Amino acid sequence: MQNSFAQRRRRDLLVAGGLALLAALVPLVVKDVNVQNIMILTLLYAALSQAWNILGGYCGQISLGHALYFGLGAYTTTLLFTKFGVLPWFGMLGGGAISAAIALILGYPCFRLRGHYFVIATIVIAEIGLLLFHNWDWAGAALGIDVLVRKDSWATFQFTRSKLPYYYFALVFCCVAWLITFWLEDSKWGYWWRAVKDNPEAAESLGVVVFNSKMGAAAVSAFLTAIGGAFYAQYVSYIDPESVMSFQFSLLMALPAVLGGIGTLWGPVLGAAILIPLTELTRNYLGGSGRGVDLILYGSVIVLISLARPEGLIGLFSRKRKEVAR
């Protein structure tokens, strides 16, 4: 059993390396800007969903307020850059640190809540954040902020001529999120989180410090989410509260993991690979009519998959693997 678990991990790593290499080569063939945009978003959401998965999937704390951390990352980077000229790289790390700190502060009271009370608390907190940013004049209030275009370079993390640098950053970000999860899965934390998810009382009695392990998951998850937000702000170079902090984002971060399979390494990747192109394509081709066809399709897919495959799509082709993991 121990051996096969190690084997599975080695195979996971190999597959991931292969996929990453393949993904790195794709832009050499695919030059279409729309397709590249979809690929960047897919990678971004795979990473964000992986970040969500750490707290929601492994640790079992279903947060639907991750848009708060996403927004904080985006706002910190953009405000530092436009108001003080601080390079986005520092803003990115700063945003991550702020989000992680806020996750810890919020976690203190929130993790005492259970089930739906916790879910609603996370939604409500993110909503308060949204409303505050809406009314914060210095941060652009409801109008949002345009990110100034300085010059194309890695230092300012701005590229107006090509999407490729963004693509490679998203790819690296996605790989890092995956690797962190991969590493955590087999660490002390990973085992603690699964114990907390399955049965907090039993975990507590076995000496797992339930509260601290939830806090750890929240901090890692928030940090990664904020990095994603910072990247997104640079990528679209315009942010307003609705576009980075609305409830839709919280959902969009959780959905790939749920569709792919929560609490699994590959779930978020698989989910994002299916969901994001589907969303973007339906929006491009059907959404323009303004008649909600994209929403109809999107909603039906979510209902059907969550009813037919409660363990996520990953269950389709890894039955054996699941037995091994048990």
320 is an interface residue for another protein by CB under 8 A: no
Question: By C-beta, is 131 or 202 nearer to another protein?
Answer: 131
Closest separation between CB of residue 169 and another protein, Å? 30
Q: Which of 22, 307, 323, 326 binds another protein (CB under 8 A)?
A: 307
296 is an interface residue for another protein by CB under 8 A: yes
Task: Tell me, letter by letter, the H, E, C secondary structure of the chain.
Answer: CHHHHHHHHHHHHHHHHHHHHHHHHHHHHCCCHHHHHHHHHHHHHHHHHHHHHHHHHHCCCCCCCCHHHHHHHHHHHHHHHHHHCCCHHHHHHHHHHHHHHHHHHHHHHHCCCCHHHHHHHHHHHHHHHHHHHHCCHHHCHHHCEECCCCCCECCCCECCCCCHHHHHHHHHHHHHHHHHHHHHHCCHHHHHHHHHHHCHHHHHHCCCCHHHHHHHHHHHHHHHHHHHHHHHHHHHCEECHHHHHCHHHHHHHHHHHHHHCCCCCCHHHHHHHHHHHHHHHHHHHCHHHCCCHHHHHHHHHHHHHHHHCCCCHHHHCCHHHHHHHC
Q: Which of 209, 299, 319, 325 binds another protein (CB under 8 A)?
A: 299
* CA geometry: angle 159, 226, 135, nearest 5 deg: 95
CA end-to-end distance (rounded Å), the chain: 10
Q: Which of 10, 11, 83, 114 binds another protein (CB under 8 A)?
A: 114
Q: Which stretch binds another protein (CB under 8 A): 6-14, 168-176, 226-234, 290-298?
A: 290-298
Chain positions 199 to 238 lying near another protein, rule: CB under 8 A, are: none
Q: Which of 135, 187, 199, 284 binds another protein (CB under 8 A)?
A: 135
Question: By C-beta, is 114 or 150 nearer to another protein?
Answer: 114
294 is an interface residue for another protein by CB under 8 A: yes
274 is an interface residue for another protein by CB under 8 A: no
Q: Which stretch binds another protein (CB under 8 A): 27-35, 90-98, 202-210, 254-262?
A: 254-262
The rounded distance, in Å, linking the Cα atoms of 168 and 272 is: 17
Closest separation between CB of residue 62 and another protein, Å? 7
The rounded distance, in Å, linking the Cα atoms of 64 and 299 is: 17
311 is an interface residue for another protein by CB under 8 A: yes
CB 250 within 8 A of CB 256: no
19 is an interface residue for another protein by CB under 8 A: no
Closest separation between CB of residue 218 and another protein, Å? 16
The rounded distance, in Å, linking the Cα atoms of 92 and 98 is: 10
Q: Which of 105, 124, 148, 206 binds another protein (CB under 8 A)?
A: 124
Question: By C-beta, is 32 or 137 nearer to another protein?
Answer: 137
Closest separation between CB of residue 73 and another protein, Å? 22
Binding flags for another protein, 155-194, as an x/- string (CB under 8 A): ----------------------------------------
Chain positions 44 to 83 lying near another protein, rule: CB under 8 A, are: 62
Q: Which stretch binds another protein (CB under 8 A): 42-50, 154-162, 202-210, 255-263?
A: 255-263
How many residues of this chain interact with another protein, rule: CB under 8 A?
A: 43
The rounded distance, in Å, linking the Cα atoms of 144 and 242 is: 9
For binding to another protein (CB under 8 A), which residues are involved?
62, 109, 112-117, 119-121, 123-125, 127-128, 131-132, 134-135, 247, 251, 255, 258, 262, 290-303, 306-307, 310-311
